[in-house]
Every structure is written in structure tokens, then in C-alpha cells.
Amino acid sequence: MRNYLEKYLLPVAMILGIAFHRELSLFSPVIPYLLSLMLFITYSRVSWSDIRLTRFHYILLAIQYVGGALIYLALRPFNEVLAQAAMICVLTATATSAPVVAGILGGSISVTAAYSIISNLSVAFVAPVFLSLIGDSGGSISFSASFWHIFRSVMPILVVPFLLAFFIQKTIPRVHRKIQSAQIVSFYLWAAALTVVIGNVTQYVRLQDDGNYTLEVIIAVTSLIICFLQFYFGRKIGTRFGRTVAGGQGLGQKNTVLAIWLTQTYLNPLATLGPGTYVLWQNLVNSWQIWRNAKRKHPK
């Protein structure tokens, strides 16, 4: 029953989000709390000694941040919303579930988890810079004031759970072990958060409906291309370091709940279609990878 539920929880969450978008949009204030709890459980999975940054991790971080800036600058002359949607798909951190998928595919859980943690922590410092520079404040707020406002909002969500997990690991190891054994809770929290954010995206699109979906289609196709490219180049880079699976999941599998929340809060809400559709594309890629891996292990 549990395997069946986990297998179909993603499509069920997305269908519920679309079907009950009006009701679910009222729950948007709980998203930051769900994110914090998800990250706390994920951070509890890895000990401090597992976090060893290597050249492999630095290359992925450079692609995440430099790539996010370049794709925004490249697409901005064509359309600002499209540029924001594409940028957030590259900029956002690695999904908290990436180490689990990496393990299923036969990759290194510790390497992927280390990158997931440093990716999510570094976003707390880097994202406010990006969002302050490109966010629409009408020029009424200075960069420093905008940066501090965003940093103060993001820090508790991304960094405090890490500090709390580290504190509990060092001071209350018995509680820490119980949290480690309850990692599946993070998966269900993610499904709940995904349902709410999909509802928010759907509600916004419905309110903005003008009968012309050209931009929406372009954003969806762009996020599809970005998704495939990030998985492809992540695996290529990972292969050079003997970390093929970790590279693909680290760069391609994104924390889309975080991306959607950041976009809805600080950028043009229509740009949430970028990470909103990225949810679908990355899970199609993951499903195909898991199916191919299972077929290789059991060809008959």
C-alpha cells in the first residue's frame, strides 16, 4: 500500500492542486513552514563529516549561479517574465529528495546529499542578490534595503533548520536518530507543499486569463529544455569525477517548491509557470531513469 501511494502521490498532488486551486490558494502562508520542516528532516539525514566540498561541487554551484545569471541576461531582451522563469529554474537549489533518487539509481547518496545541503544553504545568501536586482520594486526601494528584506525572510527557512538539526545531532542524539528514521515524512510534506503551490499557480493563471496562452506555452517549453539540459550536463560533468548519477540529480532535480515560493513572493507571479512546469518535467525524467535502471537490473 505504501509503495503504491508513493508511486502515485506526485500526480495526485498535482491533480488536487489544479482541481481545488481556489481553496488551496488560501493555504499559501503555510508554504514557508512546510519548506523549513522538509529541510530540517533532510539536514538530519547527513552528519557534519559527510559535507566535504570538492571541485565537483564547485562546478555545479558555478553552473547554478552563473548559469542562472546568464540565461536571465540572454532572455531579458525578449521578455522579462520569460527571463525570470528561466532564471529561477537554474538558480534554485537541489531538491531535498535528490539523494533518495540518487540512491535508487545506484549513485552516491552522501555526495548528492552534501551538494543538496550546500546548494540550499548557499541560496539563502545568493538568491537575495538576484531577486533584489531583478525584482520589480518600481525603484522605490534601494538594493540594500531590498536585499536585507529578502535575506531576512529567506534565512529562517533555509539556514535555521540546518542549525537546529546540527544542534540536536550534537546534544540529543537519541532524538536525532528518531528523526533520521522518519525521512519518509519529508516526502509527504513535500507532496502537501506541492499541492498548495500548484494550486497557487493555477489560481494566478486563472485570474490572469486573457485567452492568449502564447507566453505560458513558451515558458513551459523553455523549462522543459532547461530541465533536460541540466540533467544532461550534470551527468556529463559527474562522469568526469566518477559521479554520473550525483551530477545529474544534483544539477537537474530542483527544489521546485522553494523556487515557486520565491517567484510568487519576489518576482512576477506569472513566472511561477517556469518552476511549476519544471515539476512535471523533472519527475518524468526521474521516472524514466528509475524505469531504465530497473530494466537493466532485471532485463526479463
Under 8 Å between Cβ of 46 and 226: no
Half-sphere exposure of 19 (CA within 13 A, CB side): 6
Residue 189: give the domain boundaries: 2-295
The overall pTM is greater than 0.75:
yes
Q: Look at the block and give the residue holding cell 533532510.
A: 42
Residue 300 lies in a domain: no
Residue 86 lies in a domain: yes
SS3 (DSSP) at 186:
helix
Q: Which of 46-55, 209-218, 241-250 has the highest mean pLDDT?
A: 241-250
Q: Tell me the C-alpha distance between 235 and 13, whole Å.
A: 28
Buried/exposed code over 233-247 (b: 16+ C-beta within 10 A; e: otherwise): bbbebbeeeebbbbb
Q: What is the pLDDT of residues 87-137, one digit of tens each?
A: 999 999 888 778 777 877 888 777 887 888 888 888 888 888 888 888 654
Asked whether residue 60 carries a pLDDT value surpassing 50, the answer given is yes
Number of domains in the chain: 1
Q: Tell me the C-alpha distance between 174 and 201, whole Å.
A: 40
CATH number of the domain where residue 157 is located: 1.20.1530.20
Residue 122 lies in a domain: yes
Amino acid at 89: C
Which triple of cell numbers denotes residue 240? 568526469
